[in-house]
Amino acid sequence: MALAAAAAGALSPLAIPTANAGTVHPHTSQPTVGVSATQFAPYVDMSNSGVSQLDAAITGHGLKTYSAAFTIGAGCNNIWGDTLPVGNDPNIDPVIAKAKSEGASVIISSGGAGGLPLAFTCTDQSQIDAGYQKEITAYGADALDFDIEGAAVADTAGVARQMTAIKDLKANNSGLTASVTLPVLPTGLTADGVNVLKAAKAAGVKLDNVNVMTMDYGQGTGTDMGAAAISAGKATLAQMQSVDPGYDYANLGITPMIGVNDDGSTFSLADAASVASWAAGNGVGRMSYWSVSRDQACGSLARTAPKGRMGAAQLMKPAASPVCSGVSQSPFAFTDALKNG
């Protein structure tokens, strides 16, 4: 999932990256089935004009948790992808407040393909910790997500700072959960993704959730996206357990891009049903998707809107609209299918 706006200034065009590392050979031990219920937390592009969809999903379709995307680093300042400050954004702050008043909790997500989490743009650990702490304090959040992809996933120093920040934040905020969101192939995480898990272990951090972006594999229209998502999830868990045997399905997250993906593949409603059933049956910790604003048929909606998925202005295929799925569906059909797995 290409995520977020440019780190500073106005949004700028951006090509969509795809996972292109070589095959990762997964660990061969059998996964341990988790026992916790699957948390449903789809992404909401907070810099996209479609955020009004969030209110309808909460009030009409029982959405209880969502992932607000994205905060990004600008030097040692933590800002939203629309370049306004965390805790002082007149556009985003009221949306989060309204959702909270309606009973929905928020996961604040940082980073993405078009921007970087604060730990990757700032080298002062105290300022990094303070920037993330402001997210928790300003929005009453008890969950943070860090989307690490593109060049960031191979930035070992940035990854180390990120894991230190997670450790510090958990020590100072009782009950805080932290997830990392990583690119994946049907064969599992890239080598750099596995190294992110190793960095967490080295820092003494057990991640609450390792969320994989089961989308845009670069394999084209013939890909069975439901089967590929399940394959990616199984392989990722095996890799997680090869780093720390204490991980199980409860620590895994699955995030497809609903409808038409940027590589021409399609994640259908039938795919959603099969993945949701598999996730629920195995106690997968988190089910998500990109994005709430896309959970409707295109119809007369603009298919070439200026902002692409994950909040990034980008050069994209017209079918991969940021405001609709590109498939025939009723409004919020993917929300209902993935939530009720």
- By annotation, the residues acting in catalysis are 149
Per-residue b or e along 233-247, where b marks 16 or more CB atoms closer than 10 Å to that residue's CB: bbbbbbbbbbbeeeb
In terms of DSSP H, where are the helices of 212-285? 225-243, 269-282
User: Using an 8 Å Cβ cutoff, are 189 and 150 in contact?
Assistant: no
CA distances from 97 to 40, 89, 102, 169, 294 (A): 20, 12, 9, 22, 22
In this structure, how many other beta carbons lie within 10 angstroms of the beta carbon of residue 298?
20
Q: What does the alpha-carbon distance between residue 248 and residue 236 come to, in Å, rounded to a whole number?
A: 10
Structure tokens at 18: 């795809």
Q: What does the alpha-carbon distance between residue 201 and residue 93 come to, in Å, rounded to a whole number?
A: 34
User: Using an 8 Å Cβ cutoff, are 107 and 152 in contact?
Assistant: no
Q: What does the alpha-carbon distance between residue 149 and residue 70 come to, in Å, rounded to a whole number?
A: 13
Q: What does the alpha-carbon distance between residue 180 and residue 212 come to, in Å, rounded to a whole number?
A: 8
Structure tokens at 322: 């940021």
Structure tokens at 232: 């990616």
Estimate the share of the chain in helix, then strand, then coil, as percent rounded to the nearest 5: 35, 20, 45
Name residue, tokens 């845009």: 216
